[in-house]
Amino acid sequence: MEQSKYRIEHDSMGEVAVPADKLWGAQTQRSLENFKIGGGRETMPEEIIKAFGIIKKAAALANNRLRPEKMTDEKLCAITNAGDEVISGKLMEHFPLVIFQTGSGTQSNMNVNEVVANRANQLLGKVLLHPNDDINMSQSSNDTFPTAMHVAAVMAIKDTLIPSVTALIETFKRLETENHDIVKSGRTHLQDATPIAFSQEISGWRSSLERDVQLIERALPALSELALGGTAVGTGLNAPQGFDALVAEEISNISGHKFVTADNKFHALTSKDELVFAHGALKALAADMMKIANDIRWLASGPRLGLGEIFIPENEPGSSIMPGKVNPTQCEAVTMVAVQVIANDVAVGMAASQGNFELNVFMPVCIANFLQSVRLLADSIKSFNDNCAVGIKANEEKMRNNLHNSLMLVTCLNPYIGYENAAKTAKLAYAENISLKDACVKLGFLSAEKFDEVFKPEKMV
């Protein structure tokens, strides 16, 4: 590149050439050159960058109230305007750093400081703001990065994940109502079991998701506690009295979600237990989605040689060689996401275990996996709902035939002929390929009339 395509920035280590069209500074450039990991594809999550935009704006507002001689109204206005551009995603091209950098996320904090400072100076038309002295005022990377983690996690869960799950819950509620009078064979161990209403089966799916939402929501209060104000090691050095509570209030106002300052900043800097707990709830949701998607694709299997008890939407051809084949692709996508989320849980837990003395040093990889889980779950559940669940239809004829062919209907005879005689009846019916009624009468356990009186499959639910 020609020299004109660069500008010279400096930091405490000296001068660095930075691309002239980028807003980042020397420390970002050093990180970009020193951590060429992942081919530039494993970059800091967008949610973290936007959370940092909220934090820098909130910190400027708090500093303006607590130390107006340093954070003047002019500086505040410029930082606010630049911070809003970060929050909106307008400046995302200026945040190139990879996840696999310093474990404290210091370089990404400085990336934000440099971009906000340079953009604010552009807006002002003069050099007024310094990345460290002004944008990072009353802060440290050690308390801003864990704060960004919590802000991003809460916003992602509340704004994207819970709405997606809630929509699927509402779909299942509708399907329960539509299928309340359909009775089918139950299954346990992939074997025939006693009857169940199709609406009851759906209610199990719906209730699982409702419980998952409850578990996720239980994790939110702890995630809403912020480390900001602890600065380097939790003591709050260089932050004015009351900054921690005030900045949490400002973050709440900007984000639209309630945040509070953490009571113990030493814990907030070094422990990531809140994220581990919350991700456990995400893993529970993933496990339930795996089960639900598998149930649905089993029930829809066929169309002639499988269970075939439900119809699901046919969205695209399923084979490059078998004409007319259609596959349960939405179910497959959800189950692959579930595998990824369960794998991410290991990374989150391992990263959280690496809190050495006053600081966790695996924070970027911890939050990257956490946010990927939220993002994948939210997207896949929405896709599954919109392209599969809303179109589920019962194959009533197949359900009825399977129900009346089930040998486990013999269970309703237990009170009249006893468990062992009922077992003999089922075994004879299976061995001779005859009905339960014929087997029971043949064995002399009940008359044909008495059998018809007590054998009511539709009333066994």
Q: Please tell me which residue in 189, 257, 301, 380 is annotated as part of the active site.
A: 189
Distance (Å, whole) CA 357 – CA 234 = 11
**Cα dist from 209 to 136, 393, 458, whole Å:** 41, 20, 28
Element (H, E) at 251: helix 243-255
> Under 8 Å CB-to-CB from 148, ≥6 apart: which residues?
48, 51, 52, 55, 105, 367
Token digits for 361?
Answer: 């040093």
Token digits for 401?
Answer: 């035939």
- Active-site residue 189, yes or no? yes
Contact indicator for 84, 53 with CB cutoff of 8 Å: yes
**Torsions phi, psi of 311, nearest 5?**
-105, 140
Between helix 46-66 and helix 106-124 the angle, nearest 10°, is 60
- Active-site residue 319, yes or no? yes
Q: Report the DSSP beta bridge partners of residue 225.
A: 260
SS3 call for 97: coil
Q: Please tell me which residue in 319, 404, 406, 435 is annotated as part of the active site.
A: 319
Residue positions annotated with a catalytic role? 189, 319
